[in-house]
Amino acid sequence: MRRGDNRRWLGGLAACLMLVLFSGCGKASSAAPETDLEAKVQAATAVSAVTLQTEPYTLKISTTGTALPARESYLACEVPGIIAEILVKEGDRVKKGQALLRFNREGYRLSVEQAEAGVAASKAQADQMKIEYERALKLRESDATARASLERVKAQYDAAVAGLQAAEVGVKKARKAVADSELRAPYNGTIVMILHEIGEYAPSMPPTMLMKIVDTSSLDVQVFLPEDQAANLAVGAPAEIEMESVGAKMEGKVSFVSNRVEMGAQSVETRIHLDNPEGRIKGGAFARVTLTARTYEEAILAPVRAVRRDEQGRPYVFLAVEGKAKRTSISLGGSEQARILILDGLKAGDALITTGLDDLMDGDAVAVEARDR
């Protein structure tokens, strides 16, 4: 091959190499943006979301509690004494004013007799001084000596009257001591404990508890609710109570919601009043309770699984907003099965993220792959 031909062949080869080189560079520069886009798509967290809507909702709270007697009292006599008679036994139902126990009352009866004798003596003295005082009044105009002694006689008469009054008070106190030496029922109820026996001495200072009586004609079912649930309750709210001990379902109403949170359990004491005229339900019985707390015309309900809590226990959720996760603080009401009432923080139309929450952070890119119903 001639030298000219060699030069032409080498020039063509060089041109071909340059074309291949430039062609390769063009492909590399056009491929780079596609790779970045794929990386961004892969970085978005796949999530499911539900579009929130409002709906009518009646909040019901299910819990358990204990039936407490409406009243219960330990009974004592106001005076000391030796127990002479016990007139009831444990389990007896008694009426208000019924005699339950008596002390030996002989000493108290003697005190009454003594006080009554004192009244008779004081009355006789007062009557005599009244006669002398009236005589002194008649003589004061004509007898200078009588005028001088009138004040003395008047003072003696006043003292006799005061003595009579004191003696009469003494009789009342002695008679009251006799009455107080007998223990009577303060209200209709059942005697559940007798704490002493015949022959025992019962001092009054400090008082000796002799018996315990309970009134179960009505009951209070005591329950303890989380603070957020108790906030939805008001006195008068209806309740359904199932008493397993008697196999009965009954209706009652909330009679008390404490304004204090129990420190240990972070719960609020609540009581439901329940009529029990036949006394079928005993104090201390176990109860299942369903409370109708509140009715909402337009409530927001969210899946329980969507709710998260921070280190202080404050609830929050994530919303899908323009391809990103938005952390949103919320206030909770009661829950039913798999849904929970949202009191504040969400509105109809919000896209609430329900899955893919494990490592999700505020501002993370998200791709909503499914819509929950």
pLDDT in tens, 169-218: 888 888 998 999 999 999 999 999 999 999 999 999 999 999 999 998 99
Stronger pLDDT, 263 or 33, i.e. the higher one: 263
Q: List CB contacts of 217: < 8 A, sequence separation 6 or more.
A: 70, 188, 189, 275, 276, 277, 279
Nearest to 139 by CA among 125, 149, 128: 149
CATH of domain 77-103+182-209: 2.40.50.100
Q: List CB contacts of 373: < 8 A, sequence separation 6 or more.
A: 50
Report the C-alpha gap between 353 and 368 in whole angstroms. 8
Q: Is residue 80 packed enough to be buried (19+ CB in 10 Å), middle (13-18) or exposed (0-12)?
A: middle
Which of 46-50, 63-67, 141-145, 151-155 is predicted least confidently?
Answer: 141-145
Is residue 238 predicted with pLDDT exceeding 90?
yes
The predicted pLDDT at position 146 comes to 60
How would residue 32 be classed by pLDDT, with cut points 50, 70 and 90? very low
**Domains of the chain: which residue ranges?**
46-56+298-372, 63-68+216-296, 77-103+182-209, 106-180
pLDDT averaged over every residue in the chain = 85
Is residue 111 predicted with pLDDT exceeding 90?
no
Q: Is residue 29 packed enough to be buried (19+ CB in 10 Å), middle (13-18) or exposed (0-12)?
A: exposed
CATH class of the domain whose range is 46-56+298-372: mainly beta
Q: Is residue 67 packed enough to be buried (19+ CB in 10 Å), middle (13-18) or exposed (0-12)?
A: buried
CATH class of the domain whose range is 63-68+216-296: mainly beta
By the 8 A CB rule, do 189 and 253 touch? no
Report the C-alpha gap between 175 and 355 in whole angstroms. 81
CATH of domain 106-180: 1.10.287
pLDDT in tens, 341-359: 999 999 999 999 999 999 9
Confidence (pTM): 0.60
How many residues are listed for the chain in this entry?
A: 373
Report the C-alpha gap between 234 and 289 in whole angstroms. 16
pLDDT in tens, 261-312: 988 778 999 999 999 888 889 889 999 999 998 888 999 999 999 999 999 9
List the structure tokens of 50. 């539900």
3-state secondary structure of 105: coil
Report the C-alpha gap between 227 and 102 in whole angstroms. 49
How would residue 158 be classed by pLDDT, with cut points 50, 70 and 90? confident
The predicted pLDDT at position 6 comes to 47
The predicted pLDDT at position 154 comes to 81
